[in-house]
Amino acid sequence: MNAAEKATEAFAYIQKHIPEVYEKYLEFTKSMSEKGGLSPRDKELILVGCSVMSQCEMCIAIHVEGAAAAGATREEILQAALMAVAMGGSPKLMYLKYVFEALEDLFE
């Protein structure tokens, strides 16, 4: 099971066991993503960087896929991930492994 599949499984578990939290989370994230100013592509690229900063394998997989689906190139996705490395140093550099894995699934 890849990281994106694990995330889907985690969300299903949360939805089943604490549906009120899941619904509020969806409302919150939807309201944030609907705000204007940034394109969906740019928002996903920011989320790639945030995912690396958070060291969340499942988030990386989801947002690399989301960025690619929104039209970001492999190079743009990698650059977004590298911005997290610039801010977070060596621990974030180690999480580029998951970015490369997600990119390989999508671009190769």
Name the nearest CA neighbour of 77 among 105, 104, 40, 49: 49
Cα–Cα distance between 87 and 66 in angstroms, integer? 22
Q: What is the pTM of this model?
A: 0.83
For the stretch 24-78, pLDDT in tens is 999 998 888 787 889 999 999 999 999 999 999 999 999 999 999 999 999 999 9
How large a percentage of the chain has pLDDT more than 70? 100
Alpha-carbon torsion, ordered 82, 87, 88, 94, to 10 deg: 10
| Pair of tokens at residue 102 | 């997600």
For the chain, list the domains and their CATH numbers: 3-107 (1.20.1290.10)
First to last CA, the chain: 19
pLDDT given at position 35: 76
Give the tens place of pLDDT for each residue, 72-88. Answer: 999 999 999 999 999 99
Confidence of residue 108 (pLDDT cuts 50, 70, 90): confident
DSSP secondary structure of 39-61: -HHHHHHHHHHHHHHHT-HHHHH
